[in-house]
Structure 1
Amino acid sequence: MNFHKARILPAVFAIVALLFAGSAASAKTFKMAIGDAQGGTQWALAEKFSELFTEKTGGKHKVSLFPNGQLGSEQDTINDAAMGTLDFSLLAVNNITPFSPTVGVLTLPYVILGLDDAVTLTHGEVGKELVENTIRDAGVRIIGWAYSGFRVLTNSKKPVATLDDLKGLIIRVPKNEIMIATYQAWGCNPTPMAWSETFTALQQKVVDGQDNPFITVSAMKFYEVQKYITTIRYIFSLEPLVISEAVFQDLKPELQKAVLDAGQEATLYSEQYLKDSEAAIIKDLEAKGMEISAPADDEKEWIEAATSAVWPKYYDSIGGKDKFDSIMKVLGR
């Protein structure tokens, strides 16, 4: 009996070890690049997606999060995802526009006038079309959206209420043609700069200001280097969560479903997160010494200058004037 056990037990252990090794080998930890620091809507969406994805795969698969540009600039991570060397990237929508121009409709000034507009476009037929376009153009698939609220202008020099007040200020903008053109329409000569360089540039006074949502201003601790906020509300900030299309196509159908379902649920979570957190963040920024004011005359001169100069210039890149009109019709305008 002991002789048989001595022969059988090693064989059993070997089989168990092989099964365990096979299971471990099939499990994967995916990498997600995140443009913003911890504490903002990007981080909230990423954490929720990671939690949901692990849950939906029975704990087998995980997502490691790399915030604050640790894996490169936001545009670099799109390139990496397109090549299949990065699994996920979560970034500002303006940084995907150079790769898939039709997404630029979401960055045209004063097209999105509130969270409801943002949800309508990203959840509906417009959003589905943009997903297909980014797969075709950029090699990445949008699987979720973070809603961060309106971009507001911050600066370290003075309160800004009119376009005249803006003159003379050096404002950092993303490397995005539409946003550059908007500031130029306002009579400003903006400075395009990578997101990863922005805090240092503000700190060293290379630039005077920048624009981003309240939540991002807080998460990035811009209150340490900026004093004034103007609620220009010209772009509602959206951050798509993308997966490399090459990586997505390599996944088994059940894993593809887990990715898509987790992205959809995380998107709904992000919508509620913005509603629940923005007011408190604004109060906290004021408590930290930032002065918040609105543009003069209900922003009319800002709106007129931007829409008259920028909209016609980019009709072709987003699919034509008819496409623009159809999107405005979806928004009831």
Structure 2
Amino acid sequence: MVFKTTTLVSLLAASSFFIGGSALATTFKVAVGDAQGSAQWEMASKFKTAFEAKTGGKHKVDLFPNGQLGSEETTVNSASIGTLDFSVLAINNITPFSPTVGVLTLPYVIQSAEEAKQLVTGEIGKELTANTVRDAGVRIVGWTFTGFRVLTNSKKPIKTIADLKGLKIRVPKNEIMIASYQAWGINPTPMAWSETFTALQQGVVDGQDNPYLTVHSMKFSEVQKYITNIRYVFSLEPIIVGEATFKKQPADVQKAILEAGTEATEHSYKWLADTEGKIKKELTAKGMQITDPADGEKEWIAKATTTVWPKFYASIGGKDKLDKVLKTLGR
């Protein structure tokens, strides 16, 4: 009987129950892959503030940065089975579970922050969210805009594809991003995000790619010297909630989650515009050297789009899905 009583108390503490039609207070856990000060953290912090305000302080949000609750890919599984409430993570770490979102990571599809926002807040974003619920059991409720993934390394300035030869570059465990580097003539090293700083520090890999905001928040200037302004992927980092967790909430809490996600998305977009230029100056002051690709990145673009795009038509749901995205963007 003691075991049964203890179990019931635990369940009551961990879940939302209703007495007289009113939900008891709940604290939701949010995993954040990046460190405090990052674009992910900024968006998650706005989500927390907005959600708590919309629920009158009855429901709380606790943020766990720096991968404390597991790797970004792991948190997708955790949210799906209900052992984690929310996670903020790079879109490429959802792609293995819901391949159609990979259309947003095809190289050079998104060419500006404005295009990124247009896609994720419009019909394309709604379709991808529905697919993610169907495929992965998680719902996208907001988006972080983190900027283009620039290439960093510890060895030398990179201007051309030929300059990549001999470098060991870390990439996420994402087939599209791996294929992009292969199109440029090197075999990158797939690696979990949580292992990346140490691998750079120890020389296991020479470089990686991530937006300026992430390079800054993760203190990569301590282990990297050179930045190349490639713009092959615009980094989108959604906040997801387990669909089972979302569905068991009362209507007013579901509404608060969705509205807080929308507010956090708008905040993130503005924050990127206000912050990225300052971050570039800070990284330069810390000794990092910034280089632009030769010839306006034409060779990089040609090899990636002609080689990589066709390989992933099937996984993103067909070439017509990419055509729809490009048409939405007026291309």
Which TM-score bucket, shorter chain as reference? Answer: over 0.9
Q: 1:95 aligns with which of 93, 101, 107?
A: 93
Question: How do 1:131-150 and structure 2 match up within 5 A?
Answer: 131-150=129-148
Larger Rg: 1
Match of 1:212 in 2: 210
Matches of 2:22 and 2:71, distance apart in 1: 32
Question: How do 1:152-301 and structure 2 match up within 5 A?
Answer: 152-301=150-299
Q: Provide, for residues 281-323 of structure 1, a one-character-per-residue CA deviation record: whole Å limited to 9, x for no partner.
A: 0000000000001001100110001001000000111111112
Three-state SS of the structure 2 residue aligned to 1:310 is helix
Three-state SS of the structure 2 residue aligned to 1:157 is coil
Match of 2:30 in 1: 32
Three-state SS of the structure 2 residue aligned to 1:324 is helix
Number of positions where the alignment pairs a residue of Structure 1 with one of Structure 2:
313
Three-state SS of the structure 1 residue aligned to 2:149 is strand
Matches of 1:175 and 1:328, distance apart in 2: 26
Match of 1:15 in 2: none
Match of 2:305 in 1: 307
Unaligned runs of 5+ in 1: 1-20
Q: Does 1:121 align with 2:128?
A: no
Three-state SS of the structure 2 residue aligned to 1:89 is strand
Matches of 1:73 and 1:196, distance apart in 2: 6
Give the RMSD, CA atoms, in angstroms. Answer: 1.3
Match of 2:9 in 1: none
Letter in 1 for 2:49: E
Three-state SS of the structure 1 residue aligned to 2:49 is helix
Three-state SS of the structure 2 residue aligned to 1:117 is helix
More moved, 323-332 vs 217-226: 323-332
Q: 1:316 aligns with which of 292, 304, 314?
A: 314
Three-state SS of the structure 1 residue aligned to 2:158 is coil
Matches of 1:228 and 1:303, distance apart in 2: 21
Match of 1:56 in 2: 54
Three-state SS of the structure 2 residue aligned to 1:318 is coil
Letter in 2 for 1:330: T
Letter in 1 for 2:27: T
Q: Provide, for residues 128-171 of structure 1, a one-character-per-residue CA deviation record: whole Å limited to 9, x for no partner.
A: 00010000000000000000000000000000000110010000
Letter in 2 for 1:67: P
Match of 1:3 in 2: none
Q: 1:78 aligns with which of 76, 79, 90?
A: 76
| Identical pairs, percent | 68
CA change 1:290–1:251 in 2 (3 A) is same
TM-score by length of structure 1 reads 0.93
Letter in 1 for 2:251: P
Q: Provide, for residues 192-249 of structure 1, a one-character-per-residue CA deviation record: whole Å limited to 9, x for no partner.
A: 0000000000000000000000000000000000000000111000001000000000
Letter in 2 for 1:225: V
Matches of 2:33 and 2:93, distance apart in 1: 10
Aligned structure 1 segments of 4 or more residues deviating by more than 3 angstroms: 21-25
Matches of 1:61 and 1:320, distance apart in 2: 41
Unaligned runs of 5+ in 2: 1-18
Matches of 1:58 and 1:326, distance apart in 2: 41
TM-score by length of structure 2 reads 0.93
Deviation at 1:24, TM superposition (A): 11
